[in-house]
Structure 1
């Protein structure tokens, strides 16, 4: 009996594709959903990794130009009113409002400093929104994928027990395939969730550091403009 069971078990295809092909329609849909979620999460991870690396490079390049001693008006004329770099956008927002705050006679419109600060705050908020775009998807995948996989497992095990009851046979050749198919759904759920959670935490911290850098620059720039206002 054991030899017969072993022979039947060896004839079963336990590869990932074989397990997927034998799964019920509901479990197949769960697996497909988890695979798509995993691809979506990885596309965001790669995109954000490249974006943050470029943002750090742009901020470092602008920081060197800003503290090089070059006059701020000349630096603003070089980068323009709508630069591509986020650090440059914060600077451009402040300089644009600075120039708009000058009257025709060379004086400054009252409350210029407050308006400059608000302009840079808006630019920082837009930069942060762009950096954080897509991160909620990673959080969603990380928090829901294990439960979606668990649903597929529960459904698959239920189907396996129904097949066992109908076959009235509990040997390994009957039980193993159904259980393996069901557990594959949980495995796919964890495969999608673990990288999503890890990179969500990492990318969120990277985004916070970049935004904090923009805020620190805005404070320093505001201090420089404040000195010019006082003089």
Structure 2
């Protein structure tokens, strides 16, 4: 029979039992605490998942901002193509008018050349004023009346080109504030949820704040392109106005030149009568 010569003291046995009890209690406490934190996290933290988990007011804000962003790109496509073709037409009109020596020559060139609607419009307006002047063409007032008609045409063309551009300015100025409203509403709901759950853990706060900040991000996504596109259109329309003024100046220059030769005005009037 073997006798243990070094028995474990009773005090060591009690310390070991206490340590074992503490470890088991810590393990039991850690397990139920981690489960609720994992359960509080949403299943999908992607933008689409946060959209589905957001409040109804925040969803409405996000939908409105998405529609505003789509409207911005639609305006870019529609007005961008219209402005491009209008500037091309103005360039062709200026090139044709600069090659013409008189109004009759310009009228003949526009009749023979395709895609000269702008030049034909400007020239026909001057011809109409000549017909209404009743052969009193060699006066200073004729040039003033013709210049006034040209200004009216240019103003009408500019108004047509600027239609729809104001929507971009509205989106660029309002969208950030709409997104901020959605963020404030979402954060308010997050704090209400924190008060109801009586927990300030980061896992409890973070999902609601992330959903709220998504509205601010959507507002910036809608506003920044709108402001940039609006500035591009503003410069493009100003350039288009300058081209219209250049074309009108060429016509008024030919009119002033023809006033020194009344026969040229008669030729232009006769061509108008034939049309």
Q: TM-score range by the shorter chain?
A: 0.7 to 0.9
Distance 1:47 1:183 in 2: 32
The Cα RMSD (Å) is 2.5
Cross-structure match for 1:97:
129
Question: Quick one: structure 1 residues 195 and 211, their matched pair in 2 at CA, closer, same or farther if it must change by over 3 Å?
Answer: same
Distance 2:47 2:146 in 1: 59
How is 1:158-169 mapped onto 2 (pairs within 5 angstroms)? 158-169=188-199
Shift in Å, 1:48: 1.6
Distance 1:15 1:37 in 2: 22
CA contact (8 A) 1:8 1:173 kept: no
Shift in Å, 1:219: 1.9
Query: Does the alignment pair 1:75 with 2:105?
Result: no
In structure 2, list runs of 5 or more residues that go unmatched: 1-29, 262-275
CA contact (8 A) 2:194 2:205 kept: yes
Shift in Å, 1:173: 2.7
Distance 1:158 1:189 in 2: 18
Deviates more, 1:188-197 or 1:2-11: 2-11
Which has the higher Rg, Structure 1 or Structure 2? 2
Cross-structure match for 1:108:
137
Distance 2:225 2:195 in 1: 38
Cross-structure match for 2:205:
175
Relative to the length of structure 1, the TM-score reads 0.87
Question: Quick one: structure 1 residues 170 and 92, their matched pair in 2 at CA, closer, same or farther if it must change by over 3 Å?
Answer: farther
In structure 1, list runs of 5 or more residues that go unmatched: none
Relative to the length of structure 2, the TM-score reads 0.74
Shift in Å, 1:6: 6.6
CA contact (8 A) 1:91 1:120 kept: no
Distance 2:142 2:228 in 1: 44
**Residues matched between the structures, number:** 226
